[in-house]
Structure 1
Amino acid sequence: MRPSLRARRHAPGARREELHPLTGEPVEVVTDDGARLHVDVDPVGPAHGSGAPTVVLCHGYALSSDCWHFQRLALRGRYRLVLPDQRGHGRSGRGPAGPVSVARLADDLGQVIDAVAPTGPVVLVGHSLGGMTVMELAARRPDLLPRVSAVALMATSAGGMAAVDHGLPMLGHHLVRWAELALERAGHRYDVLERSRRAGADLEQLLVRHWNFAGPVAPELLRLSARMMAQTPVDVIADLLPAFSTLDEREALAGLAGRPVLVLTAERDLMTPAAHGREIAEAIPGAEHVLVRGAGHLLMLEHPSVVTARLERLLSRRAPVAGTVQEVVVPLARRTRGRRAR
């Protein structure tokens, strides 16, 4: 029998003036295949030997480490933060040409941890593709698991992505294949596609709003999201796209058991439906599943205070919860808008 859902309300915490650029200590990690990865490290935190973990924040598809803006503001100075840009994203290099698999990204993440956090406990936080990367890391680097003190997976999936309709029933599950075919037919004329993207920047912002946010957001958040996506090269988007339809990380989930695990899902996520997150939580004994009402795919930007509070709670825990806990969070902003509408 599925556990009952407990509903809680949470106040919003994002402030527009907080969107100034955040920087830390830049570190370059060169992977075994020669890709140059940019890693931002916020080194100020608890004294060495305090036992406080290093928190590694892994971003999703067509984003960058800038997506963790509000969580970084809240946690910096209290924990050592490691924010890598996945290969081809943000300020990281592309690496060798050719398809990029989730396994390759997991190897990258393992090498980042080896280089930047070689000792001590680590907490792994992954959003969307970043969550898939964390799950694959558990399968490929079992030597790291004893050091992983907690895991947060948000708006992500362990498999079955080929059937996702992206909010367009009877049509959406064909979109990925159509996009793959269009990119294949473009050959290597990615320069033409890039110019087309720039010409359609206004349309791109509308699509970003539709597929990533469930409701109105501040213009600054929309511009940040659109900028991260626009800065991701077309060839990187093309090379990663096929990886989603073949994704299957379900066997890797067993490796995450035995430690606190938080699975955050967004009720109105069109990219990785909430049901996928629930399946992940149910497959990991002692995992905590939190559904955020009225949230879209980029819930850490749309409802940052909810995500930050849950991460802080995870960081304070020392053991898995008893059984599987499922909870519903209703952001205060959503509650207020609903009352006005009535």
Structure 2
Amino acid sequence: MRVAGALRPRRRVAVAREEVQPLAGEPVEVETDDGARLHVEVDPADPAQVVPGAPTVVLCHGYGLSADAWHFQRLALRGRHRLVLPEHRGHGRSTRGPAGPVGLARLADDLGQVLDVVAPTGPLALVGHSLGGMTIMELAVRRPDLLERTRAVGLVATSSGGLAAFDHGLPLLGRHLVRWAEQALQRTAERADVLERGRRLGADVEQRLVSHWSFASPVSPEVERLAARMMAGTSVGTIADLLPAFGTLDETEALVALAGRAVLVIAAERDLMTPAAHGRTIADAVPGAEHVLVRQAGHLVMLEHPAVVTARLERLLARAAGDVEHGGHGGGDEVVLPVAARSRPRRVRP
């Protein structure tokens, strides 16, 4: 295992106020077989920058977020790669579809149908954060035709199972609170309008909670607001639809299917949603997978330490393209202490 600072991405990505404004691509709407309308952003590759044969890079966001979760990675990669950023049903600008519980199988089918429309041919690199990573793992089992075209897989702050036993940073209470939340959301689904009004009234409290469970070190106010805005934009109904899926998650079969591809697993040391040990489990189950543990990082590691995540994704894509000089040979363990985290104390939260 090696300990390193953040690799420098080929394009510097600074956290500045103007850079957290939404990025616009070519919007595509994909209607699924059950009637949900999924919003997809597509950033075309620049012929002058793209490497011939480079895969289409698919960036799948996490639970309660939107395509904006990949803001900094999108900013760095656009032009050099064709980027596809789908939004899960009920998230961002996608419609919820039929009401009721939504499992990983449904989300994987959604992703497969998106790729059938926007990337029907050619090599793929599938990158997912949290729920997005779980969706990609499920897709690997359900759509072997897409897996055959997949050259690289990036799994960021995600899990392949066992979340029902995790306390989410609340020893003794965490598991009980999750179950209570499931039951409460199910009982009040028909009064979602009341809950939504309550969320708006408690917006400041919600932002503080989002920050607590999303980041482990100081981030700019703009990044905090971006995270809170994405989560506030996800309806209570969508949260209720998906919450039960985490307790039954088991993607063991998918990890076997990923063998033989360039696989990157990024885990965040202080992740209160998908613990770092779950990233270790995934990497151990996929021969040749690269495992990166980011110190002083929370669940939204790609927003908290964007340079670290971007650099490792660039290295993964270089591996997928066979660029040994820039991509390395893959595999192994790395522990990263982000440069910015070395010189600042952890924020004391009120």
**Range of TM-score over shorter length:** over 0.9
Q: How far off is 1:175 after superposition?
A: 1.6
Which residue of structure 2 lines up, in the alignment, with residue 6 of structure 1? 2
Determine if contact 1:286/1:322 at 8 Å carries over to the other structure.
no
Q: How far off is 1:290 after superposition?
A: 0.2
Change (3 A) 1:234 1:184: same
Determine if contact 2:189/2:237 at 8 Å carries over to the other structure.
no
Q: Which amino acid aligns with 1:238?
A: A
- Cα deviation digits, residues 170-214 of structure 1 (max 9, x gap): 111112101012112324100011011111111101100100000
Which residue of structure 2 lines up, in the alignment, with residue 219 of structure 1? 221
Determine if contact 2:5/2:336 at 8 Å carries over to the other structure.
yes
Task: Give me the whole-angstrom Cα distance separating, in 1, the residues matched to 2:111 and 2:275.
Answer: 25
Three-state SS of the structure 1 residue aligned to 2:89 is coil
* Structure 2 residue 18 is matched with structure 1 residue 22: no
Which residue of structure 2 lines up, in the alignment, with residue 263 of structure 1? 265
Q: Which amino acid aligns with 2:170?
A: L
Task: Give me the whole-angstrom Cα distance separating, in 2, the residues matched to 1:302 and 1:323.
Answer: 24
Which residue of structure 2 lines up, in the alignment, with residue 336 of structure 1? 343
Task: Give me the whole-angstrom Cα distance separating, in 2, the residues matched to 1:68 and 1:46.
Answer: 23
Worse-matched range after superposition: 143-152 or 14-23: 14-23
Which residue of structure 1 lines up, in the alignment, with residue 190 of structure 2? 188
- 1:1-342 alignment, distance < 5 Å: 5-10=1-6, 13-16=13-16, 17-46=18-47, 50-318=52-320, 324-338=331-345
TM norm structure 2: 0.92
Q: How far off is 1:321 after superposition?
A: 7.8
Three-state SS of the structure 2 residue aligned to 1:188 is helix
Q: Which amino acid aligns with 1:27?
A: V
Task: Give me the whole-angstrom Cα distance separating, in 2, the residues matched to 1:138 and 1:31.
Answer: 19
Determine if contact 1:122/1:149 at 8 Å carries over to the other structure.
yes
Determine if contact 1:208/1:226 at 8 Å carries over to the other structure.
yes
Q: Which amino acid aligns with 2:2?
A: R
Task: Give me the whole-angstrom Cα distance separating, in 1, the residues matched to 2:29 and 2:330.
Answer: 41
Q: How far off is 1:41 after superposition?
A: 0.2
Determine if contact 2:289/2:330 at 8 Å carries over to the other structure.
yes
- Cα deviation digits, residues 51-73 of structure 1 (max 9, x gap): 01100000000000000000000
Determine if contact 2:262/2:330 at 8 Å carries over to the other structure.
no
Task: Give me the whole-angstrom Cα distance separating, in 2, the residues matched to 1:314 and 1:322.
Answer: 10
Task: Give me the whole-angstrom Cα distance separating, in 1, the residues matched to 2:15 and 2:296.
Answer: 19
Task: Give me the whole-angstrom Cα distance separating, in 1, the residues matched to 2:258 and 2:199.
Answer: 39
Task: Give me the whole-angstrom Cα distance separating, in 2, the residues matched to 1:335 and 1:117.
Answer: 41
Determine if contact 2:264/2:316 at 8 Å carries over to the other structure.
yes
Q: Which amino acid aligns with 1:75?
A: L
Task: Give me the whole-angstrom Cα distance separating, in 2, the residues matched to 1:25 and 1:117.
Answer: 14
Determine if contact 1:288/1:321 at 8 Å carries over to the other structure.
no
Q: Which amino acid aligns with 2:45?
A: V
Residue-pair matches, total: 337
Q: Which runs of 5+ in 1 are unaligned?
A: none
Identity among equivalent positions (%) equals: 72
Determine if contact 2:13/2:75 at 8 Å carries over to the other structure.
no
Q: Which amino acid aligns with 2:42?
A: V
Task: Give me the whole-angstrom Cα distance separating, in 2, the residues matched to 1:59 and 1:312.
Answer: 18
Q: Which amino acid aligns with 2:279?
A: G
Q: How far off is 1:15 after superposition?
A: 2.1
Task: Give me the whole-angstrom Cα distance separating, in 2, the residues matched to 1:273 and 1:258.
Answer: 25
Determine if contact 1:39/1:85 at 8 Å carries over to the other structure.
yes
Q: How far off is 1:143 after superposition?
A: 1.2
Task: Give me the whole-angstrom Cα distance separating, in 2, the residues matched to 1:135 and 1:54.
Answer: 18
TM norm structure 1: 0.95
Determine if contact 1:164/1:173 at 8 Å carries over to the other structure.
yes
Three-state SS of the structure 2 residue aligned to 1:317 is helix
Q: How far off is 1:326 after superposition?
A: 1.1
